[in-house]
Amino acid sequence: MNLYGLTLEKLEKYFENIGEKKFKATQVFEWIYQKREEKIENFSNIKKEIRNRLEEDFKMELPEIIKRETDVLVEKFLFCLSDSEKIEAVLMRHDYGLSVCVSSQVGCNMGCKFCESGRLKKVRNLETYEMVGQILAIEKEIKERISRVVIMGIGEPLDNYENVMNFIKIINHPKGIAIGSRHITLSTCGIIPKIKLLSDFPLQINLALSLHAPNDELRSKIMPINKAYPLMEVMETIKEYIKKTNRRVTIEYILLKEINDQMSHAKELAKLLKGMNVYVNLIPYNETNHIEFKKSTKSTINAFYETLQKEKINVTVRREFGKNISAACGQLRSKEV
């Protein structure tokens, strides 16, 4: 097992099981996440025999960064995992600090037509330690601390529920990486049963829904998952989620030229969202070499934005990052496989 994959609770259980006091778990957490010690033998306030036992039971391995692409405010990292699979993460520099977009799976099975990640099917889920490792490896590489995490990289996080939740617990824990729950965002294409589960998750993280179309017909065309979890049912689930958690939900909407970016779509979207505690993040599409979709023009994006505003829907247009590098979700990896 990898030590980076254990929540504090699990580590406490481990110590209890080997007949030790559970506060040792906190000491270990402090070594790995606060002092960033990478060798168990250097956990100096822990008895030698316990360190030996830990070394027998655990590995401490971070994913290896094999490529780093740099643009003005954004960098992409390609990682090689221990089974040689590749994943990527993106670092963004905002005025308010550094945020990282992490991957949750190797590939993705959701099959969204516009998405580069979905072109390559899911190979496997990421283990918790491989998600924690993306953050630790980037921090080590750049020698700076990350203050926000978005789970919006390759993969569908709610299709890897348990590992992703444990990842969130570890990065959020005050004795761990200590990223506040309000600084953690999980993005999903709309896996209804898992959104329901998430509404009972004790940490108040942000939820983002990749909507991308205002009606079933169009959504099913570009997002096959809509056939399993249709739009109206997803919206009902989101309403329940908001009621239960009292949290505002982000609605992501990629603007695809002449597909979902017309005034009529904006009006339909406004109607769909009316009265809900949501805000819409309009995403200028990142074109890729392999996929036929095009980015909407600036004036169409503006008109869409203004239509939503006029309808009193909270809306922002996502800033574009990394135009000079392989910015589209999954693009760096897909060049390598």
CB closer to ligand SAH out of 166 and 226:
226
Residue 326 binding ligand SAH, by CB under 6 A:
no
Residue 285 binding ligand SAH, by CB under 6 A:
yes
How many Cβ atoms are within 10 Å of 16's Cβ, its own excluded? 13
Please give the Cα distance from 83 to 281 (Å, whole number): 36
Tell me the DSSP string of 31-72: IIIIS----GGG-TTS-HHHHHHHHHH-B--PPEEEEEEE-S
Catalytic status, residue 88: yes
Element (H, E) at 335: helix 331-336
DSSP 5: G
Q: Which of 101, 108, 189, 329 is catalytic?
A: 329
Q: Which of 75, 88, 130, 252 is catalytic?
A: 88
CB 87 within 8 A of CB 106: yes
The piece of 114-122, 237-245, 257-265, 300-308 that touches ligand SAH (CB under 6 A) is 114-122
Residue 160 binding ligand SAH, by CB under 6 A:
no
Catalytic status, residue 329: yes
Residue 152 binding ligand SAH, by CB under 6 A:
yes
Residue 187 binding ligand SAH, by CB under 6 A:
yes
Tell me the DSSP string of 221-259: HH-THHHHS-HHHHHHHHHHHHHHH---EEEEEEEBTTT
The piece of 11-19, 176-184, 186-194, 267-275 that touches ligand SAH (CB under 6 A) is 186-194
- Counting residues that bind ligand SAH (by CB under 6 A) gives 19
Q: What is the 3-state secondary structure (H, E, C) of 100-159?
A: EECCCEECCCCCCCCCCHHHCCCCEECCHHHHHHHHHHHHHHHCCCCCEEEECCCCCHHH
11 three-class SS: helix
Residue 229 binding ligand SAH, by CB under 6 A:
no
Residue 168 binding ligand SAH, by CB under 6 A:
no
CB closer to ligand SAH out of 260 and 288:
288
Residue 213 binding ligand SAH, by CB under 6 A:
no
Q: Minimum Å distance from CB 58 to ligand SAH?
A: 30
Catalytic residues: 88, 329
Interface residues with ligand SAH (CB under 6 A) are 110, 112, 114-116, 152, 156, 187-189, 210, 252, 254, 283, 285-286, 288, 328-329
